[in-house]
Amino acid sequence: MVPFLNAEFLCSAERQSIEPLSGEGFTAPDFLLFLVVLHYLLEAKPQELSGRWIGEKEIPGGEVFFRGLHGLPLEPLTKIFGRQPDLFRSVAESLGGTPVQMGDLAFRFPTFPRIPLVLVLWEGDDEFEPEMLIRFDSTVTFQLERLDAIWALANVFSRSVQACAKSFCGEESED
């Protein structure tokens, strides 16, 4: 059994399957989720978290990898939450997020047991547009060794957050 956000997935080598066991259903079982779960099961190590949060471009090799098609899916999150911090707070809390001191509003999410993510909101004003950022504990590459697995994790996480937001406000939250 592998927990992810507010859901649990049963991984069966015998049946060659990954199936949802419980949860709100915000994390759709699909190829990216399967990819991340398999990498996590194969690569995760009993490594203490550093508590040092880094951006995707600070991950070794990330400055080159996380561009273009491999950019993190932050625009839909910014569109949904950029000017709605109360919605961000509600969604974060419903997914098990706990507040942390970053940006204007930020939450730490228990994606996998050894891979927390922080989602940071910088609210817009007259000079700057709002911005959302994903931050990783600096030990993320001990748990997911390949950049494409980290990219897949960020995508599954982003889609789960978007789906949860949609449940709060209906069609308005679609990107």
Residue 80: which domain range?
Answer: 2-173
Distance (Å, rounded) from C-alpha 85 to C-alpha 125? 13
Does pLDDT of 152 surpass 90? yes
> Predicted confidence band at 173 (pLDDT cuts at 50, 70, 90)?
very low
Sheet holding 53-54, edge to edge: 53-54, 131-137, 115-122, 105-112, 98-100
Predicted local confidence at residue 25, as pLDDT: 60
Q: Quick one: which of 24, 32, 49 has its CA closest to 164?
A: 24
- Which of the four pLDDT bands, split at 50, 70 and 90, describes residue 6? confident
Instruction: Lowest mean pLDDT of 17-26, 43-52, 95-104, 111-120, name the range.
Output: 17-26
Instruction: Render pLDDT for 8-41 as a digit per residue (tens, 0 to 9).
Output: 888 888 998 888 887 556 677 788 998 999 999 9
Residue 95: CB atoms within 10 Å: 25
Instruction: Look at residue 170 in the predicted model and tell me its pLDDT.
Output: 66
> Is residue 133 over pLDDT 50?
yes
For residue 124, pLDDT beyond 90 = no
Domain tally, the chain: 1
Structure tokens at 15: 């049946």
The count of residues in the chain is: 175
Q: What is the reported pLDDT for 172? A: 46
pLDDT per position as a tens digit, 82-106: 999 999 999 999 999 999 999 999 9
